Amino acid sequence: MDFSTPSRVADLLPAIRAFVTERIQPLEKRMPEGWSVLEPELERVRAEVRQRGWWAPFFHREHGGMGLSLMEFAFVSEELGRTPLGHYAFHCQAPDVGNMEILHEFGTGDQKRTWLEPLAAGGIRSCFSMTEPAMPGSNPAWMATRARLEGDSWVIDGRKWFTTAAEGATFAIVMAVTDPEQPNVYARASQIIVPMDTPGVQLVRNIPVMGEAGGGWASHGEISYEKVRVPLANLLGERGAGFVIAQARLGPGRIHHCMRWIGICQRSFDLLCDRAVSREMSPGRPLGLKGTIQQWIAESRAEIDAARLLVLHAAWRIDRDGAYAARDDISMIKFVVANTLFRVLDRAIQAHGALGITDDTPLAWWFRHERGARIYDGPDEVHQASVARHILRARGLPDRRGGA
367-397 per-position pLDDT tens digit: 999 999 999 888 999 999 999 999 999 999 9
Residue 319's Cβ-side half-sphere holds a number of Cα atoms within 13 Å equal to 16
The amino acid that residue 36 corresponds to is S
CB contact burial 219-228 (16+ within 10 A = b; e otherwise)? bbbbbebeeb
Residue 74: closest CA among 266, 346, 348 = 266
Q: Assign residue 200 a region: left if phi > 0, alpha if psi is -120 to 50, beta otherwise?
A: left
Q: CA distances (Å), 345 to each of 32, 180, 297, 354, 371, in order?
A: 20, 44, 12, 14, 10
CATH 1.20.140.10 domain extents, the chain: 244-393
Ranges for all domains in the chain classified under CATH 1.10.540.10 = 7-93
How far, in Å, CA of 311 to CA of 309, rounded? 5
Contact (CB, 8 A) for 230 and 193: yes
Quote the CA–CA distance of 235 and 220 in Å, as a whole number. Answer: 24
DSSP letter string, 171-197: EEEEEEES-TT-SSGGGSEEEEEEETT
Q: What is the CA radius of gyration of the chain?
A: 22
Contact present, 314 and 290 (Cβ < 8 Å): no
For CATH 2.40.110.10, the residue range(s) in the chain are 126-236
Burial class for 333, CB neighbours closer than 10 Å (0-12, 13-18, 19+): buried
- Which CATH number among 3.40.50.620, 2.40.110.10, 3.30.1510.10, 3.40.50.970 corresponds to the domain 126-236? 2.40.110.10
| pLDDT at residue 86 in the model | 98
Length of the chain: 404
Q: How far is CA 308 from the centre of its chain?
A: 17
| Per-residue b or e along 113-137, where b marks 16 or more CB atoms closer than 10 Å to that residue's CB | ebbbeebbebeebbbbbbbbeebeb
Separation CA 243–CA 224 (nearest Å) = 21
| Cross-strand partners of 173 | 128, 193
**Fold of the CATH domain 244-393:** Butyryl-CoA Dehydrogenase, subunit A; domain 3 (1.20.140)
The reported pLDDT for the residue numbered 404 is 38
Those residues whose C-beta lies under 8 Å from the C-beta of residue 395, and which sit 6 or more positions away, are none
Burial of 5 (0-12, 13-18, 19+ CB in 10 A): middle
Q: Cα separation of 394 and 112, whole Å? A: 41
pLDDT at 323: 85
- Closest C-alpha to 110, from 231, 253, 288: 231
b (16+ CB within 10 A) / e for 362-386: bbbbbbebbeebbebbbbbebbeeb
Angle at 233 between CA 232 and CA 239, to 5 degrees: 70
Its CATH class, for the domain covering 7-93, is mainly alpha
pLDDT score at 138: 64
Interhelix angle 327-352/242-278, rounded to 10 degrees, is 30
Q: What is the pLDDT of residue 402?
A: 46
Residues of the chain with pLDDT under 70: 1, 138, 140, 400-404
